A = this chain, B = another copy of it.
Amino acid sequence: MKGPNDISFPLWQLLNRTSHIMLKARQKELDQYDISIRSSAILEIIARLGKKTTPTAISRQTFVERHSISEQLARMEKEGLIVKVRDLERKNLVRVAATKKGQEVFKKTTERKSIKYITSALTLEEQKQLWTLLAKLRGKTMKTLGIEDWEYFPPSAPDDQLLTGKENLSTL
């Protein structure tokens, strides 16, 4: 697409800026628990994946580079939020688990008032629409980067989330 009908660039700007400002609002909410968005995201992955949580799995779900994840995990270990556990059978495999403190902090973060409030600007129907559109962009980008085989989350269809994810997400 070219010419005056090409809105791809400003649309992309709007996507980034909306994501960025929502992160800011969420961080403001998390400040009271003295935890960063990145840490809370990792604790959420641990709560969801359980024993399957490895640095690579975290990197693939968040699309954040492996070395940045390692740095983040080192900080969180220092803060007493997580521990790294060497797999007993596959010695070169490191698993990531939350400590008692990590679990407690995470529990506090799951009210997510800011996100619920902001998302209430959209009806449930619109939220599902947005979901489907974003999933299409994510899929195309993964293809572009040659990483289609990565196990992603959330799923591409919002109803899959409603069906499979509700137990996890309502308890987390």
- Chain B neighbourhood of A130, CB < 8 A: 11, 15, 130, 133-134
Q: Which of A103-149 contact B (CB under 8 A)?
A: 112, 114-122, 124, 126-131, 133-142, 144-145
Q: List 12 A-B contacts (CB under 8 A).
A: A1-B116, A1-B120, A1-B124, A5-B124, A10-B161, A11-B130, A15-B18, A15-B130, A22-B141, A28-B145, A119-B137, A121-B137
- Chain B neighbourhood of A20, CB < 8 A: 19, 62-64
The answer to whether B9 touches A169 (Cβ under 8 A) is yes
- Chain B neighbourhood of A145, CB < 8 A: 21, 24-25, 28
Task: Report how far A169 CA is from B9 CA in the complex, Å.
Answer: 8
A7 beta carbon closer than 8 Å to chain B: yes
The answer to whether B124 touches A129 (Cβ under 8 A) is no
A66 beta carbon closer than 8 Å to chain B: no
Q: Contacts A14-B134, A119-B12 hold; do A141 and B7 have CB atoms under 8 A apart?
A: no
Q: Which residue of B lies closest to A8 (CB)?
A: B119
The answer to whether B22 touches A112 (Cβ under 8 A) is no
How many residues does chain A have at the interface if contact means C-beta atoms less than 8 Å apart? Answer: 70
Chain A interfacial positions (CB closer than 8 Å to B): 1, 3-26, 28, 41, 61-64, 112, 114-122, 124, 126-131, 133-142, 144-145, 152-154, 158, 161-162, 165-166, 169-170
